[in-house]
């Protein structure tokens, strides 16, 4: 890949994040105002100090006016963008590269989505552009991602009962973490047996194997690294930003076996190259990943290099990715506990990295790996489905590289 990266050239100095949930009485404007307000307060600046804005949303606005109107911005550049479920991460990536280029001193990335009163359902079919030859059939997201589970079980010799236990534990873990997070949509632990016996949605996926639908917003303020300490005494520095789009030919490729996302593998390898990470399982303190469905998280553990091929199910079962495990994954509860307001999810993931790396996560869900000397966090966000997706991986840290 040709990216030179921007390691340690930009820093995040302020962030904000609303609660995610069923905000029936609040508009997208209200959510944007809250997230942006928290971000600028945390950085000790005003909106006038921000040079440019990138707004990520899929369905809550069609231009920069979606942000400039509620914030009463005075003739500032506002770029609205969308990249499927990775939209929030794409807003952050654009803001970071704009600052790194020298075009702006201070930039903001914002993500928002208002889904609960839009009529959109998490079980609705999504139509993606195909090859124009009617080779693509209509399929719901749960049905699409459910294909990962039996494929993984067959390839690595698990019975469907054993695989069901593994994905059940993933859902259980993320609900345990979400129960400790006041910003999460679902804040209750759910017993393993209740998860396992929940009504089936698609394949072997039950209700608790699927992320919910929610409203939410999150925002980040980005400056050059050399300016970071003007705004905060605890900035987090961007080590890597990797975004790839695949050829979308997996569903037509007889070799594709539904046990990997090649786009995730490519974006992770590029992110590690940029950040200088050689052993992610040992060097990363925590990871926020795109657990839209429980088998997605299982497969991602191998694609991101956290587990060897065919071994992630054992690591899940052993508790390696639990809050007190050797590499905590989704310590905030993930999409499973937050739901997935599309434009906001990527920035919500970064907000958790912000809290943890700054020592601001509450004690009951502060990861122990930070106390052991690790200083890096990873976020992963994908859009699309098995065999055809875009993938984003970031690595951030609370220290500059020597």
- Among 398, 402, 401, residue whose Cα is nearest residue 12: 398
From the list 23, 175, 290, 340, the catalytic residue is 340
For residue 310, count CB atoms less than 10 angstroms from its CB and return exposed for 0-12, middle for 13-18, buried for 19 or more: middle
CA 214 – CA 185 distance, rounded (Å): 7
| 85 catalytic per annotation | yes
Query: 284-288 and 376-385 as β-strands: parallel, antiparallel, unpaired?
Result: parallel
| 389 catalytic per annotation | no
Q: Tokens at residue 226, please?
A: 């050399």
In DSSP terms, which residues pair with 221 in a beta bridge? 14, 108
Asked if residues 266 and 2 have their Cβ atoms less than 8 Å apart, the reply is: no
Sheet holding 10-17, edge to edge: 78-81, 52-56, 106-113, 216-224, 10-17, 236-245, 388-397, 376-385, 284-288
From the list 85, 96, 210, 389, the catalytic residue is 85
Active site residues: 85, 340
């Amino acid at each position: 890949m040709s990216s030179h990266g921007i390691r340690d050239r930009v820093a995040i100095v302020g962030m904000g994040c609303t609660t995610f949930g069923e905000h029936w009485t609040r508009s997208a404007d209200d959510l944007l105002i809250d997230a942006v307000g928290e971000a600028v307060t945390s950085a000790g600046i005003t909106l006038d100090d921000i040079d440019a804005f990138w707004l990520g949303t899929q369905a809550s606005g069609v231009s920069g006016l979606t942000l400039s109107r509620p914030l009463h911005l005075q003739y500032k550049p506002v770029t609205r963008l969308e990249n499927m479920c990775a939209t929030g991460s794409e807003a952050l990536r654009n803001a970071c590269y704009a600052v790194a280029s020298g075009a702006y001193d201070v930039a903001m990335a914002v993500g928002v989505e208002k889904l609960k009163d839009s009529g959109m359902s998490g079980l609705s079919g999504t139509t993606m552009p195909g090859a124009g030859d009617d080779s693509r059939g209509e399929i719901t997201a749960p049905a699409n991602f459910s294909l990962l589970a039996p494929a993984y079980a067959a390839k690595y010799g698990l019975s469907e009962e054993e695989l069901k236990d593994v994905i059940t534990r993933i859902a259980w873990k993320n609900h345990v973490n979400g129960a400790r997070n006041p910003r999460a949509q679902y804040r209750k632990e759910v017993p393993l047996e209740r998860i396992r016996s929940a009504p089936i949605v698609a394949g072997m996926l039950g209700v608790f194997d699927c992320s919910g639908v929610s409203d939410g917003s999150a925002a980040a303020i980005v400056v050059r690294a050399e300016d970071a300490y003007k705004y905060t005494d605890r900035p987090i520095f961007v080590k890597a930003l990797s975004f790839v789009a695949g050829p979308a030919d997996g569903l037509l490729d007889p070799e594709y076996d539904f046990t990997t996302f090649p786009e995730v593998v490519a974006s992770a390898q590029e992110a590690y190259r940029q950040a200088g990470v050689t052993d992610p399982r040992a060097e990363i303190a925590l990871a926020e990943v795109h657990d839209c469905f429980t088998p997605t998280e299982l497969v991602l553990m191998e694609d991101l290099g956290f587990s060897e091929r065919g071994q992630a199910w054992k690591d899940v079962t052993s508790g390696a990715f639990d809050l007190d495990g050797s590499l905590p994954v989704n310590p905030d509860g993930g999409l499973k506990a937050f739901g997935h307001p599309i434009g906001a999810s990527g920035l919500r993931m970064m907000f958790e990295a912000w809290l943890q790396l700054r020592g601001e996560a509450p004690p009951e869900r502060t990861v122990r790996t930070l106390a052991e000397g690790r200083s890096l966090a990873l976020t992963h966000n994908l859009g699309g489905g098995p065999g055809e997706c875009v993938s984003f991986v970031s690595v951030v840290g609370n220290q500059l590289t020597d």
